[in-house]
Amino acid sequence: MERDLIAEPGTKFTYSGGGIIILGEILRNASGMNIDDFSMKYLFEPLGIDSTIWFRYDNGNIATDGSLELTPRDMLKLGVTYLNKGIWNGKRIIPDAWVLKSSNVYNNNYPIRAPIEDSGKNGYRYTWWISDFIHDGSKISMFRASGWGGQSIMVFPKLDMVVVFTGGNYASHSSLYTIIRQHVLRAIK
């Protein structure tokens, strides 16, 4: 924290999990709860998710910047909750303001390239990537949570659709966008 800034906050984008690790520690200190207990109580249990696996560092702390394992069905629950602006089964789980901010880009970080993906230009906000596709001559916006190896929760609000991918494609995510463009969107009438 003793280093000089290399750019004014909000003017330059660099993908990094470091901010999420710090946020996890802030949440742990503010709530007095471990991240797994906090997320289970306030997010996963209300969604009916009872099994999660978190990667832990050697010191026992959870890697809040990634490596959370969920079933595809549980990933879908998170996506549907975001699609419904934070509501699951009629109950508010995530503040709607958070969902709105998460799913819309900052003007100054769009367009950027997502790491190792053929997704074209993206935005990024609050751990969600934001992309646009052209479907039947119209722009379709999508926001997604993306994990290592091709794990992805993709939310298409205009289409009222959530798509979940899981897999072991650790070298490249390029096939994910090819599947969306050439198969999923083409199947929608």
Q: Which of 176, 181, 174, 178 is nearest to 165 (CA)?
A: 176
Q: How far apart are CA 42 and CA 95, in angstroms?
A: 12
The pLDDT tens digits of the residues spanning 101-113 come to 988 876 555 555 5
Q: What distance in Å separates the CA atoms of residue 44 and residue 69, rounded to the nearest whole number? A: 12
Residue linked to tokens 């090819």? 178
- Using only C-alpha atoms, the chain has a radius of gyration, in whole angstroms, of 17
At 116 the pLDDT is 43
pLDDT in tens, 32-73: 999 999 999 999 999 999 999 999 889 888 888 888 999 999
- 152-187 CB burial, b ≥16 within 10 A, e <16: bbbbbbebebbbbbbeeeeeebeebbeebbeebbee
Residue type, 76: L
> What CATH code is assigned to 71-189?
3.40.710.10
Give the global pTM: 0.86
Domain boundaries in the chain? 16-69, 71-189
